[in-house]
Structure formats: C-alpha cells, structure tokens
Amino acid sequence: MTEGRDVGGALRASPPYALLDTVREHLSTVYGATSVRLYLTDYGGTVLSPCDPSGDDSGPLSVSGSPEGRALGSQERRAQQVPHGDAVDHHLPVTVRGDRIGILTVRLARDRSTPAVLDELRQVVDQLGHEILVAERDTDLYQRARRVSRLTLAAEMQWELLPARACTAAQYAIGAQLEPAYAVHGDNFDWASDGDELTLAVTNGMGQGVDASLLTHLAVSALRNARRAGVGLADQAALADRAVYDHYRGASHVSTLLVRVELATGRMEVIDAGSPQMWLLRGKTVERIEPDTQLPLGMFEESHYVPESFTVLPGDRLLFVSDGVYEAPSPRGGTYVEAALARALHSTRLLPAALVPGALLRDVAEYRAAETLDDALVLCLDWFGDHLD
C-alpha cells in the first residue's frame, strides 16, 4: 500500500465513533467505492449487526445464511455481483489475531476490482479492525451494534471481563463462547500468553444473576492479579482462593480449571479446582483428562493447590466445558456427556477452533430440545506446537 493510500494515519486521527466514516471517505476517494458497510458479530455469534453512526440501518444478517456470513465463516473475501449493474460487493472479514469482529462490505465497479486493489482493501480492513478494538475504550457505538437485544446486568459484567472470543498464534488457536449470551451470569473464561507460555482459566461461579457475576469477577480479577505478578500456577490458585474466602468466608466459592502450557515443549500444568471438565481429541480418540479434583476457590481458608503435568502434542484439540454443557439433560433421560459429547467432538473436528464452541452449544441446545441453555461455556484449544525452530 502506497503512502497516499495508507488509511492508518487517518484512522488514528479519527474520533473513535467515526472510524467507518473515515474508511468510507478514503475508499470512495481512492478506489471509487459507492457503498461501504460495516457489520459486527453479535454476542451470540449468530448474526452480523450493521454498524453505521449515520443511522442507515439495514437490519442484521444471518451468519449461517448470508454471503457476508459465509465470508466470516471461511475467513476469505467473497465477491457478490450487484443486480442490474456493473458493480461488485466485496465482503471482507474484519479479524484481529483470530477474533472475528465482523465484515466490511465494499462496493466497487467491476473494472476497479483487481487483485491488487483487493489486496490493498485487505490491509485497510486489518487496520480498521485494530482501531475498532482501541476505539471501544472511548465509545459505546461498537458495543451497541453487537447487541440484538438488551444484555442483563449480569451478562454485561461477564462480557466486560472476557479477553476476546478467539485468539490465534503460531503454536495454538483458541475459540470460546458463553450461553445464553445475553443472560449469562456465572461462567467465564480467560487467557493470556507471552513468549514462553499460555495460561487458561475456565470458571464456573456458584449462584445466579448479579451475585454470581460479582463472585466470578472477584475470582478472575484475583487470578489475573496473581498471574501478572509473575507467580506460578499453584500460587495463582492459592492467592485467588484467599481473596474469595476473605470476602465470602466460605459461603460462596468458585469452581475453576487452570491450565498453563509451555509454548516450546507442549508441557501442560493443570489445577482442577472444581467442576469444569477437560476433554482431549487426539487423532480419532476422545478421552476426558481427569486430574485430581481439588477444592474450589474460596471454599476453605488457605487451601493448598498442586499442579499436575501432562503433555499436549501437535494436532491435539482440547475442549473445556462447564457443567451447563456436560450435565445438560435430555428429555429422554441421560446427560450430554454420556450420550453426545464424544460424537460432537468428532463431528466438529474439521472446524477451526473459533467455530467449535458455537457449533457445540447449538448441539447441546438441540439435545436438550430447548431454545436456551442453562449457564454454559465451551472453550476449544487447538495445539499446533512450536514452529519457531
């Protein structure tokens, strides 16, 4: 991209609520774009909601039944001929480090839709995605656009606590989802990586509504505080345990699964402090990894935690699920873990990690024969191994 066509400077100088207007003006001036529309993925991951501060609201699009949704799923740009004209709509995924933010649709004349121009549009979209994440600190515009209905207060608290819904790196890919997306309260996930390790936390706070969110918020914040202090996994659990116990005195506790993976070796430390489960898909084999169960965080004063070691291999897929998934009952009897979890892991094995949680949660909903789930969480980790040699 030439300096005259670099939109990055204009985006950084733009007011946070005016990013689309800035991109629209740039693409119109440089490429003759006659229409530029931004759609953002909603909290449930089922629709693409229009985001246009000018008020041009064309309504949400289905992720599963629209050209824009297919571009989001494939993570490849798609072209769509505009009826009764010589123009083409180009649907471009807006994705930052694996987090699928949405789609930018750009309408160009057919003779302007060259490979070189489309490559430049890809760079514009990359810059837009990064600036949206920065702008969300200062405006509610993009958060509002993601909502097809109002979040409960408990869900608002939980979504604000999350890192993202997907992340990719050379060694791994992560995807995660909470349900019911607009009314979740106690379940949560977290992750962080540096040059040496990846740390994951899957949390299931007891209780309902805001009380459950407050409990989980305290536990996750305590785990982050300990992790950012540079202490090991056992001390992270112990410090969070103390924080929860000091506040609730054992009346409430948090079930947590903590995982630390060495990026260079695949060596994995695990602390199972409660109810979240971990499943492994290796080749064609599905099995549950069952570390020794230790006390949930905050149940007793000064609990002691001991990590167990495992090794994850290139090509492995790890699935972390809360009790709202594996204990989901069928109207015919039995639970999801007994009848359907292994089958679902096999049937979704070709999907990227970012799409597995949504597919699995839809399968759970069908298994329950219900439109909504109890609080449920799925996190998928694909391990590629260290390719930095």
pLDDT tens digits, one per residue of 120-148: 999 999 999 999 999 999 999 999 999 99
pTM: 0.94
Which residue is associated with the tokens 């490559």? 119
User: Which structure tokens are listed for 36?
Assistant: 């530029």
pLDDT tens digits, one per residue of 145-198: 999 999 999 999 999 999 999 999 999 999 999 999 999 999 999 999 998 999
Contact 274, 323 (CB under 8 A): no
pLDDT tens digits, one per residue of 332-358: 788 888 889 999 999 999 999 999 999
Q: Which residues lie below 8 Å from residue 42, measured CB to CB, with a gap of 6+?
A: 48, 49, 60, 146, 147, 148, 181
DSSP per-residue letters across 223-238: HHHHHHTT--HHHHHH
Q: How far apart are CA 240 and CA 57, in angstroms?
A: 45
b/e for 143-175, b at 16 or more Cβ within 10 A?
eebbbeeebbebbbbbbebeebbbbbeebbbbb
What is the three-class DSSP state of 201? strand
Which residue is associated with the tokens 């914040």? 221
DSSP 252: S
